[in-house]
Amino acid sequence: MEAAGKWPVVDLQTQDATDVRDLFQRVFGHVMSEPFYHWKYGDGRGMAMGMRDSTGTLVTHYGGTLRQMKWGPHQFTGVQVGDVMVAPEVRDVFARFGPFGRTARQFIDKYLGEGRSNPIGFGFPNARHVTLGRRLKLYWLATSVHALKWVHAPTDVDAVEEQAASGDWRTEALDLAQEAHRKMVDILAQDMQTGVCANMLWPTRGGDGWRHRYTNHPHFRYDVLGVFAHGSKAPVGVLVLKRGCGADPWELMDWVGTAAFLPVVPALTWGVVKAQGGQALELWCSHAVLGTLNAAWRAVALKSLACEVVVNHSTLLGLPIDGLAEQFWLTGGDTDFR
């Protein structure tokens, strides 16, 4: 058999979807549906590279989906890396010039970094890939994502929390298929972009992006809720929740809103969950997001490490990524698997 070092790394297109989905099932043990593949990579939303062995079988895959991003005054396109796969039969070839190293390096060199169309690539790899990527100098740690879980509310909440819990603000379901509702998201996202997130590195939010992420998801059901002060037709915030089932927790995926709205997000969300009979609420968020939540709610949350976030270069826009942990704004909605 021809040596792995000579197997070609090639660009993958949507016509390679069947091979990608077959590799996904071999690596992860469950099916990537055709609608889910298209949701991620179709219509120019993503790109991928892979290695084929001497028989033409796809043995690696390194994919990415395009994300509009902002950091301070800079707006640019980034790539969220995902579906990093190595077939079981070649996993022992972990050298820099082995299947994983060559595929990842060629993808990064072609698409990511200074002077390329996408200045940053970021991802949420498992611990094994973090270790391997750092050893091969493909990844640098950027921040951590915390997994928060609430099973009860704080016993001592301030007046704003009490107002939220007492129903002085109301929630209404939004339909992101409607332009007017997408516009509400756009206005609040812009408020955040110029306010609390002015100096943050964040994948930008907006009605069109949320419509694809949540309304068009082929498998999961999400609730998009506008939060209104009584008597107002303009929302102060919008929440996105993934419904729990039975005793399974609900998940707060994302939100946009005014500066006054952000600290009370957990209280408002908890009220929605309890009204629907839910017993627990989860949230994935980075350090930067955690700091905006009310301290009382941070104190009662069960907290653990969800995953590390890595970037593909040690600099971004000519600046070192050191200190990025406090500036990278990420929630569960910024993943593609929750």
What are the domain boundaries of the chain?
Answer: 4-138, 147-310
- The answer to whether domain 4-138 and domain 147-310 are alike in fold is yes
- Beta-carbon neighbour count of residue 37 at 10 Å? 20
pTM, to two decimals:
0.92
What average pLDDT does the chain have?
91
| CATH superfamily label, 4-138 | Gcn5-related N-acetyltransferase (GNAT) (3.40.630.30)
In 3-state terms, what secondary structure has residue 182?
A: helix
- Rounded to an integer, the average pLDDT of 321-331 is 89
278-313 pLDDT per residue, tens? 999 999 999 999 999 989 999 999 999 999 999 999
Q: Roughly what angle, to the nearest 10 degrees, separates helices 34-41 and 17-28?
A: 110
Q: Specify the CATH class of 147-310 in words.
A: alpha beta
Which tokens hold the place of 174? Answer: 């939004």
99-113 pLDDT per residue, tens? 999 999 999 999 998
User: Who's near 166: CB < 8 A, 6+ residues apart?
Assistant: none
Nearest C-alpha neighbor of 270 from the set 236, 304, 303, 293:
293
Total residue count of the chain as it appears in this document: 338
- Rounded to an integer, the average pLDDT of 126-131 is 88
